Amino acid sequence: MTGRFDGKVAVVTGAANGFGLATAERLASEGARLVLVDRAEEALQAASSKLNGLAVTADVSSESDVDEYVRRAVAEHGRIDLFFNNAGIEGRMAPMTELSVDDFDRVWKVNARGVFMGLRAVLKVMKPQRSGVIVNTASMAAIKGAATFSPYIASKHAVLGLTKSAALEGAPYGIRVNCVAPGHFDTRMGRDLAAQINPDDPQGVLDEVSKSVPLHGRYGTATEVANLVTFLLSDEAEYISGSLHLIDAALNAG
């Protein structure tokens, strides 16, 4: 039985956990050759061993690190067919008046600058191939505001803008670019945000947020995001580009 991604070379950032790991597992199960990127070296090596992928320890906010993970992918496999541009951080939650410029810059460097540099480096590989598919990780934060969360909100709005621009740049070369916009998910980031909101009772925060989710009344799983990402990376989505895809159990439907 053949897989949807047999022979395809897939680069995944933030691959050591969460959406990145779940997507890497799905891509591997369907035949892709993996290049796994993360700054958490120990967890990355464990994922790489499990999935038989090339591990590249890198900080996506570093231009030289981004260029290096792309160089390693091409040196190992000769091309890049699929790119899940996923790595991100949540940053500190506080009113704007209580945030430092460093607080803002820390989030921006990873979530926006890192996505831009990943797009730039991978498009340089895909354009001569005249093929490729990219999925960026945005968030429902890309379509709304939130008090006390301005650096993250700004960065995810930027991801949506970068997605649309890259889709238009890539279209003449047969390259598709989309982004996914998760709502509330049971990941390290989701749990850390709950702990920021109420350090004394993070589980209480998770329980209350779950009640606000119209469909199922629960946090989503990383596997559910991986299902959407792998669809967008597949040929089944060949007419989809330049768009944001909410996966939020109707949370933003109203």
> 41 CB contacts (<8 Å, ≥6 apart)?
57
In this structure, are residues 14 and 44 in contact, taking their beta carbons and an 8 Å threshold?
Answer: no
In this structure, are residues 5 and 31 in contact, taking their beta carbons and an 8 Å threshold?
Answer: yes
Query: Taking Cα atoms as reference points, which of 42, 72, 38, 73 lies closest to residue 57?
Result: 38
In the block, which residue shows the tokens 């709005």? Answer: 157
Q: Which of 69, 152, 219, 239 is catalytic?
A: 152
173 is catalytic: no
Can you state the angle between helices 188-197 and 202-211, rounded to 10 degrees?
110
Query: Taking Cα atoms as reference points, which of 52, 57, 60, 12 lies closest to residue 36?
Result: 12
Distances (CA, A) of 11 to 35, 204, 244: 5, 37, 20
Beta-bridge mates of residue 137: 180
Strand ranges, E, within 68-213: 82-85, 132-137, 175-182
In this structure, are residues 41 and 57 in contact, taking their beta carbons and an 8 Å threshold?
Answer: yes
Strand order in the sheet with 132-137: 54-57, 33-38, 9-13, 82-85, 132-137, 175-182, 244-247
- Enumerate the active-site residues: 152
